[in-house]
Chain A
Amino acid sequence: MQLVFILEQVLNGLLVGAYYLLIALGLSLIFALGGVVNLAHGGFYAIGAYLAVILADRIGFAGALVASPLAVGLIGIAIERLLFRRFYRSDPILSLLLTFGLAMIIEQALRIVFGAAPLPFSIPSELRGQIFIGDFIYSRYRLVILGVAVAAVTATWFIVYRTAFGRVVRAGVQNPDVVGALGISLAPYMTAIAALGVGLAGLAGVLLAPIAGVHPAMGAEILTAAFVVVVIGGLGSFWGVIAASVLVGVVRGITIYFNPSWGEASMYLLMALVLLVRPRGLFGERIQRFE
């Protein structure tokens, strides 16, 4: 019986890890290519959730699951073209401040449009209920989240590591000057990566809206957790971010099993531990200029 509970917490941890991953992966992609740490990333997650609330009434949850991340991606394109682009080659401090301001604006804009109170949004009826495997009982919707998140991360991996588009992106991360000297202009790729990264955040917003609640400050909440993940895993590292997400999620899940009130704090303690033992993150940091 004990084991089943622990297993459930591990699974919960994986689930938490999966949505941290959706946020952290987008953060990491945008950072690796352009050098912008997008502190407004949580804001896009919140927009995704709010759009899901609006869209689900009209086109159903499945429709919202597709449409909302796309819409968030479009906003990402606009922001990249108008703002991020100016800061790729400047002092990283300025882009930090810029995106911080952007996060502030998004949160306030959500308050203006939707009010400060949380919006009601529940799990779509067809996905409610539990799944039983022997002694093991688990929420159907949570499994769906896990499945969609894993699919999204796999798709991202495929795009980055198995397509011509991804080849240019990886080359651009390594040496943008040489990519330019081969006749390839990186600007459209940067826009696309911003749209992809922000879209992943939007997707996380839709998935989490029914269980985490929809409120203006939701972006800031998840963003700090995503930062813990990237500090542990390294901003520029695909596998580092995945490993750190799973680690943080599982540690948190297990801690909650033994002492629920320490759940939140456990990931910060984990981060402090990693900082003490491996100050450059689990896998080391490869991108020197941001150190």
Chain B
Amino acid sequence: MRDEHAPLLLAALALALLPFALDVAGLPLRSAIDVVVFAIACMGLNVLLGHTGLVSFGHGAWFGLSAYAAALSQRYWFPEAIVLPFLFAIVFVAAGALLSGALILRRRGVYFSLLTLALTALLFTIGYRWTELTGGESGLGGVTRSSVLGLDLDSDRVYYWAVAAIGMAICYFLWRFHRSPAGSVLVAIRENEERARFLGYPTNRYKLIGFVLSASVVAIAGALSVFNHRFASAEPLAVAFSGELVAMVVIGGMRSFLGPALGALFFILFREFLSIWTPHWLFYFGLLFVGFIVFSPTGLVGVAGRVLAPFRKHTIEAAAMAGRRIAENAKLPQIYRRDAASEAPVLLARGLIKRFGGIHAVDGIDFMVKDRTLHALIGPNGAGKTTAFNLLSGLFPPDAGQIELAGRSIAGLKPEDITTAGVGRSFQITNLFGGLSAKENLRLAVQARSAKRFAMWATAEGVDDINKETTELVAFVGLTGMERAEAASLSYGGQRLLDMGLAIATRPRILLLDEPLAGLAAAERTRIASLLSIIATEIPVLLVEHDIDRVFQIADHVTVMNDGKVLIDGTVEDARNDAKVREVYIGSGAAALAAKPRVSAAGTTPILVVDRVDTFYGKSHILNSVSLDVREHEILALLGRNGAGKSTLLKTVIGIAPPAAGAIRLQGEDTAGFASAEIARRGIGYVPQGRGLFAGMSVADNLALGRLKRMTGAGIHWSDERIASYFPRLTDRWYAPADYLSGGEQQMLAVARALAGDVRVLLLDEPFEGLSPAVTEELFEAFDRLRYDVAIIIVDHHLDLALALSDRTVVLERGSVTWTGPSHALRDDLALRRKVLWM
């Protein structure tokens, strides 16, 4: 308890000592008042800057506006009064902030910052020019401080204590606010606004609350300041003053509650003492500010933390899955259950269409999910499953089609409204509040359904039913024992569990889970699969999952998608026995292409050796001691399920995702740690998934970019003629913009561009994705010929094609190599294929 209140005690102590300390330093009481005034303003600004992650360069506007409002209302309406002008100024600013905030918050990110800057610039122009009202350049004098309740505020000493009392009250209020449900949502917005919306928080409304609150607190400072100096002018409206406020907050420490106040104290001391020596103290202040941004963005508080770090006790939260306790026989907490199943379908999709550019990602799908069923949505990569999820959950609106949730149309609604209506979803790429603890993640999710979610005075962590529900949920998903670990530091599997927990916490009418099993260990997969079954007895679950065997074990109903369309919609047996499904999914094993024997050209000398490579994305460990080699003129297939690390391995080889450990030797030279441009110049061509062509640039331009810096002699030279001999279709489209080509031509161009220049190893990431059979064949034959010129690593989910084309196969599973061997073994032996590829 004492720890929680420490900032308040510290603030009270500082306020009590400040005038005496400044007196000793030779500064007048008026400076002490300035410190408190600026500290209030900075703490107000930090509601946005540090807590919500919104940079306002225009908060001087509220300070200046409030000063004018107080001075003018005292002059014309409340002569000699002090309380009424003070209150009027705050109400006036709050109203102004409400109106302008509603407009400014329509834009996010850097635009928000630019708009706040424009706002204060506009107000400055008005304040400076509207001389009859504001006094223009000469300002407004004659502000008086009368007595209130027998306190003679006219004396600086009494006024200081009044200001200090107000400062303390604001400190207490903000302290409560930041711990309140509404305050905790602001932090959630800073950490991940998108996820906050998918928990059902109307984030724009919260940001507006934060904006108005922040402006109002700054307004209090502005009004106090005008009574301190008995003078109002346009100066606080100037952009420079807003900048100084931001600088104070940053220098003090924007991630700490009292940091901004420390920054204000620092600013006044810096100004008072340096201005004795030089009139240009602001120059040095600017230098200092930039220095902090570059070297310590967490400000003085951060510096102090680092200095004190060696002397502090460290409690490292165990982020490992080992530290947790899993409840046996987990039951879905009561709150998520419903009394009776409904007969009508819970979710109904009709004719959904979504295009991106020219590609039909989802091309007219129909299906329905019945209550209390586990409904699997399966299909190969690029089938449109995740896009379908995104349409159902409102990440983007469908171009056409209907979505009904329990009879109510939800197509095109905002994510937060769809979530509130009863669609809870998890994400394929884990989407959490990374800087917050696992428990706080879940608590925020539970809170979104609580009546107290907008409360600004209650303690967020003290709401009993939210805490109870959170604890039950932590136990249900199996994260007990690691609640306090930071979400971003959890293992990938832990993050998957947490992501699923967040979706459940929205008390959904239907749960949309995008690959909840990906990246989990075998035992864990079994446990989560049974959890899914348990959930589905109460809440219908729509599940996207690549582990087909598991899906067929647990699903009640299966919808198979391919190329944006529904291929089959029926029972597990229907899907299992359907020839079309076999063909797109498991591979037919008899396609004409695959049947024709291919001659290997592989030599014996390794050209590229990957040696015990580890790669991380942030804290996620993607590749784990991966070793493989590619020989001259060899085609190596890299197979494995989604998220196994195939694409990452290619990116590691080309240097886009540099390895943390291990070596990558290209003809004996270790390229690990080189920039990707360096590696590419040594003769590696890379075709990224999705092709990565430069839109608006012609075929010739794209090829010219490939050749620009790769005429190096490292490998075979690929002239336009040589390229044309492989892809004759490109010569007809030489001057057409890349984005106007057909999908097949685009893929050919992507390969041609990767080759243009001098290349000896070619990396192909899903080259057959989204192509028609005819084009697939054309490309396949081209690759078959390319083996005589270069070595190739191919990643593709068309197993038959990849296996028929390649000499050897490396299988990845959760970032490690699980099988290496000749491709023909997998090609011919379907049982072995099922075993090593989990299919």
* Chain A interface (Cβ < 8 Å from any Cβ of B): 37, 39, 83, 86, 92-94, 96-98, 100-105, 107-109, 111-112, 164, 167-168, 170-171, 174-175, 177-186, 217, 220, 224, 227-228, 230-231, 235, 261, 264-265, 268, 271-272, 275-276, 279-280, 285, 290-291
Chain B's closest residue to A37 (CB) is B110
Contacts A101-B247, A108-B286 given; does A224 touch B656 at CB 8 Å: no
Partner of A97, one of B283, B293, B688, B697: B293
Contacts A167-B704, A227-B114, A279-B107 given; does A104 touch B240 at CB 8 Å: yes
Contacts A100-B246, A275-B107 given; does A184 touch B708 at CB 8 Å: yes
Taking a contact as CB atoms under 8 Å apart, the answer to whether A275 and B103 are in contact is: yes
Give Cα distance in the complex from A167 to B114, angstroms: 29
Give Cα distance in the complex from A184 to B704, angstroms: 12
For B348-376 the 0/1 string (1 means CB < 8 A from A) is 00000000000000000000000000000
User: Can you pick out 16 interface pairs between chain A and chain B where the beta carbons lie within 8 Å of each other?
Assistant: A93-B55, A96-B57, A97-B250, A103-B243, A108-B282, A175-B692, A178-B686, A181-B655, A181-B754, A183-B712, A184-B680, A185-B677, A217-B240, A235-B110, A271-B115, A290-B111
Partner of A112, one of B118, B283, B757: B283
For B396-416 the 0/1 string (1 means CB < 8 A from A) is 000000000000000000000
Taking a contact as CB atoms under 8 Å apart, the answer to whether B680 and A268 are in contact is: no
Return chain B residues, CB-CB under 8 Å to A184.
Answer: 677, 680, 705, 708-709
Partner of B694, one of A100, A174, A177, A279: A174
9 closest residue pairs by CB, A with B: A108-B283, A183-B680, A180-B676, A224-B121, A104-B286, A105-B286, A101-B290, A185-B677, A178-B692
Return chain A residues, CB-CB under 8 Å to B754.
Answer: 181-182
A70 to chain B: closest CB distance in Å?
25
Give Cα distance in the complex from A279 to B108, angstroms: 10
Partner of A220, one of B106, B240, B686, B709: B240
B126 contacts A by Cβ under 8 Å: yes
Q: A179-B705, A261-B129, A275-B106 are in contact. List 9 more A-B contacts (CB 8 A).
A: A97-B246, A101-B293, A102-B286, A183-B709, A184-B705, A227-B114, A265-B122, A268-B118, A279-B107
Return chain A residues, CB-CB under 8 Å to B111.
Answer: 231, 235, 285, 290-291
B599 contacts A by Cβ under 8 Å: no
Give Cα distance in the complex from A182 to B750, angstroms: 11
Taking a contact as CB atoms under 8 Å apart, the answer to whether B110 and A96 are in contact is: yes
Return chain B residues, CB-CB under 8 Å to A276.
Answer: 103, 106
Give Cα distance in the complex from A178 to B702, angstroms: 11
Q: How many chain B residues have a CB neighbour from A under 8 Å? A: 65
Return chain B residues, CB-CB under 8 Å to A235.
Answer: 110-111
Chain B's closest residue to A271 (CB) is B118
* Chain B interface (Cβ < 8 Å from any Cβ of A): 53, 55, 57, 103-104, 106-111, 113-115, 117-118, 121-122, 125-126, 129, 239-240, 243, 246-247, 250, 280, 282-283, 285-287, 289-290, 293-294, 297, 654-656, 675-678, 680-681, 686, 688, 692, 694-697, 701, 704-706, 708-710, 712, 753-754, 757
Return chain B residues, CB-CB under 8 Å to A275.
Answer: 103-104, 106-107, 115
Taking a contact as CB atoms under 8 Å apart, the answer to whether B675 and A101 are in contact is: no
Contacts A96-B110, A177-B688, A290-B109 given; does A182 touch B697 at CB 8 Å: no
Taking a contact as CB atoms under 8 Å apart, the answer to whether B122 and A268 are in contact is: yes
Taking a contact as CB atoms under 8 Å apart, the answer to whether B675 and A171 are in contact is: no
Taking each of A171, A177, A182, which has the highest tally of chain B beta carbons within 10 Å of its own beta carbon?
A182
Chain B's closest residue to A42 (CB) is B239
Contacts A94-B297, A184-B705, A224-B121 given; does A100 touch B108 at CB 8 Å: no
B655 to chain A: closest CB distance in Å?
7
Chain B's closest residue to A100 (CB) is B243
Return chain B residues, CB-CB under 8 Å to A177.
Answer: 656, 676, 688, 692
Taking a contact as CB atoms under 8 Å apart, the answer to whether B103 and A178 are in contact is: no
Partner of A230, one of B114, B121, B246, B694: B114
Return chain A residues, CB-CB under 8 Å to B286.
Answer: 101-102, 104-105, 108
Taking a contact as CB atoms under 8 Å apart, the answer to whether B706 and A182 are in contact is: yes
A218 to chain B: closest CB distance in Å?
13
Return chain B residues, CB-CB under 8 Å to A272.
Answer: 103
Taking each of A97, A107, A235, which has the highest tally of chain B beta carbons within 10 Å of its own beta carbon?
A97
Chain A's closest residue to B125 (CB) is A264
Taking a contact as CB atoms under 8 Å apart, the answer to whether A97 and B118 are in contact is: no
Give Cα distance in the complex from A170 to B433, angstroms: 34
Taking a contact as CB atoms under 8 Å apart, the answer to whether A104 and B106 are in contact is: no
Taking a contact as CB atoms under 8 Å apart, the answer to whether A171 and B694 are in contact is: yes
Chain B's closest residue to A264 (CB) is B125
Taking a contact as CB atoms under 8 Å apart, the answer to whether B294 and A98 are in contact is: yes
Return chain A residues, CB-CB under 8 Å to B677.
Answer: 180-186
B119 to chain A: closest CB distance in Å?
8
Give Cα distance in the complex from A54 to B280, angstroms: 22
Chain B's closest residue to A105 (CB) is B286
Return chain A residues, CB-CB under 8 Å to B250.
Answer: 97
Return chain A residues, CB-CB under 8 Å to B53.
Answer: 93
